[in-house]
A and B are shown apart, each in its own frame.
Chain A
């Protein structure tokens, strides 16, 4: 049977229509959802940006970086320092503040871009040493750099306010900003992946030495992917900070735990798939909120169970290990949710059900 493929033009308009449709749904949600549901909805988009950017580094380029929380932290602090008003900063810095930081002020969009750029510069600097390593060593070194940044944020009192963190960050991350940035991230990274650069990145993932032999500059491409991934991680950090409204450099908030969460998302969605990363982010955000009930007192077949803190993370890590052992490819594997694939899968489904009907 000849596969009938859609023309590029049709696909383009279908995509536009799909985005408008999602936009309409978001508009409805923005109007009718209560505050709590809206916050979860926005969190999905923020996690989406984190997951798609980590997926570019880990899934598509095959550079197993564990430094994502470091990039997120750099973006979050840079952006928050810009959006906080000088009066607010003067109030929360108990140990004094660098005068030039106190004066800085910018609107949310500029601050977010600045957060992304700061994270990208940081990635560029650490990329030189880190990307000379490979495999496990790279994972540890990137985790190490993220930790060094976190420890720095914990100690540089006059810049980051140390362990007290930043408080009263304005809650700018509304539905439009978060989903707008998610769209921008996906469009940018998807076009990168589909370009010749993307093919080079995938070649590096499959076989570094072979890619090098074909004339691909491995280091340059990896660095590019690392820096772009870090830029969007920084952006997500800004969105996250303006969603949380308080940030601090603790191990559990902006430390390895956050990298671990993002890693769960992309592994669940399928390492190497952009749409998978978004699906993984959505599932993770919803599951994590839904599991909140586990930490409340509840009755189980008439037995009163007291609320146990930590149950959420325990359940999530158990699910994660089970996924890794039994279902390594995740939901999407390396496939993408494209119009062509949708048609192919629906045909397969139709022929399957036809066969079942005949048999």
Chain B
């Protein structure tokens, strides 16, 4: 490969951190919604996909600069997440949990086919967003390894977003309301908190994070197509379960773990590179069998 083992490791370390961070951003959205509603929001990966398309069209139709395009994507996805909750999930709050899950699966396919109809099934290149491509091609030398500047940026931005997220969840009033709802919805509503509004906010926040992840994802893997959200979405969900669903630090740990296993397994066992997407599912099954509540999850007791 032309690298010494040390640089090879370093190269993969950066890639793994970046990929893991992107998974973690999506995983947080799953874990927040699951923590509150006990619902797997199947459409979450597809909201990420919609966010990427928002950025793409903002840049190519109204010629928005990349940063503005990203903001449009995040705002658009947040609105979409809020809307999906209001239209599809809110009417089913008191229905059996499985009904909401089925609706979420339906929502996922609705968004995918919506993207096929409106945006077209042909993959688009996200690089069209950038008029000035020099920043994309810049490479830094770290200890002999060539790391794209973009990888650094993605890792830094992801870390920054997590700081903001923790501030929102643990230091603001709305964050406190979110944590209260995840413990006990009826009691929280008796305390005068508008439960529906807070749930809507949770969806919007999760979707915004997914869109942020999606935009960075598309900068690194610039293939934009309607089914692009499926695999990252599934893996991020697995990351949330591995870390302990309902726990935000757990989602971050799970995401990073998944990113590391995926990158390093392929790096050191290149024969299995075709099975890359299967690793996540195998990890999921192992974790669920050994410790179903995940790394940081609390053990749930089934009441009769």
A binding-site residues for B, Cβ under 8 Å:
64, 66, 129-130, 132-133, 135-137, 139-141, 143-145, 147-148, 151-152, 154-155, 209-210, 251-252, 256-257, 260, 263-264, 267, 308-311, 313-314, 317-318, 320-321, 324-325, 328
Q: Which residues of A contact B121 (CB under 8 A)?
A: 309-310
B226 to chain A, nearest CB (A): 8
B binding-site residues for A, Cβ under 8 Å:
38, 40, 88, 91-92, 95, 97-99, 101-103, 105-107, 109-110, 112-114, 116-117, 121, 227, 230, 234, 237-238, 241, 274-275, 277-278, 280-282, 284-285, 288-289, 292, 302, 304
> Which 9 pairs from chain A and chain B are nearest by CB?
A310-B116, A144-B281, A313-B113, A155-B274, A317-B110, A314-B113, A324-B103, A310-B117, A320-B106
* Contact of A317 with B106 in the complex, beta carbons under 8 Å: yes
* Contact of A64 with B98 in the complex, beta carbons under 8 Å: yes
Q: What CA separation (Å) do A89 and B134 show in the bound complex? A: 50
Q: What CA separation (Å) do A129 and B285 show in the bound complex? A: 8
With contacts A139-B101, A267-B102 known, is A321 near B110, CB below 8 A?
Answer: yes
In the complex, the chain B residue whose C-beta lies closest to that of A137 is B288
Q: What CA separation (Å) do A152 and B289 show in the bound complex? A: 22
Q: Which residues of A contact B99 (CB under 8 A)?
A: 324, 328
Q: Which residues of B contact A129 (CB under 8 A)?
A: 285, 288-289
A157 to chain B, nearest CB (A): 9
* Contact of A155 with B275 in the complex, beta carbons under 8 Å: yes
Q: What CA separation (Å) do A318 and B278 show in the bound complex? A: 30
* Contact of A64 with B109 in the complex, beta carbons under 8 Å: no
Q: What CA separation (Å) do A324 and B110 show in the bound complex? A: 13
Q: Which residues of A contact B91 (CB under 8 A)?
A: 325
Q: Which residues of B contact A257 (CB under 8 A)?
A: 109
Q: Which residues of B contact A308 (CB under 8 A)?
A: 117
Q: What CA separation (Å) do A263 and B109 show in the bound complex? A: 12
In the complex, the chain A residue whose C-beta lies closest to that of B117 is A310
* Contact of A135 with B88 in the complex, beta carbons under 8 Å: no
Q: Which of B102, B116, B277, B282 has the most CB of A within 10 A?
A: B102
Q: Which residues of B contact A328 (CB under 8 A)?
A: 95, 99
